[in-house]
Every structure is written in C-alpha cells, then in structure tokens.
C-alpha cells in the first residue's frame, strides 16, 4: 500500500477511531482518579455522583506540584 494512495487516509482514520473506541469501552469506570488540587486519590460514586476519597496521595502528582512552587 502506497502512502500517496487515496485509500490510505481512510484506512488510517478507521484504525485510529477503532483504537479510540476500544480504549473508551475497555476503560475501568471504578478506577481511582486523582484530584488535581490535592493529589488525593478518589472514586466517583455512581449512585449519588459524589467523590469518595481513599486517603491516599499520588506521589508523582505531589512531586510535580512541588516543582511548580
């Protein structure tokens, strides 16, 4: 397949969209997330929509925040 062919961009777009959809559907909804202000890990409660903090902190986030001061 030649890069200059007319089919190549369409095939590339379909492959990239397929990868994006696969990542979206395979992502774990209950995975801990990081609060950007405090660097504390939390889980989003799906029933009431509130954050449940796990009393754990992300060390990389804390190091990055300390570099910005």
In a domain, 45, yes or no: yes
- Residue 65's pLDDT is 77
C-alpha to C-alpha distance for 35 and 10, rounded to whole angstroms: 38
Residue range 18-47, pLDDT digits in tens: 999 998 888 766 677 888 888 889 888 777
Range of 34's domain?
7-67
In a domain, 21, yes or no: yes
Please compute the mean of the pLDDT values over residues 13-17 and round it to a whole number. Answer: 95
Number of domains in the chain: 1
Q: Is residue 7 pLDDT above 90, yes or no?
A: no
- Can you give the pTM of this predicted structure? 0.51
């Amino acid at each position: 397949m030649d890069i200059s062919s007319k089919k190549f961009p369409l095939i590339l777009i379909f492959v990239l969209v397929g990868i994006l959809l696969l990542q979206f559907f395979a992502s774990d909804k209950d995975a801990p997330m990081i609060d950007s202000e405090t660097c504390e890990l939390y889980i989003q409660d799906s029933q009431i929509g509130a954050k449940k903090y796990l009393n754990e902190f992300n060390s990389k986030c804390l190091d990055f925040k300390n570099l910005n001061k």
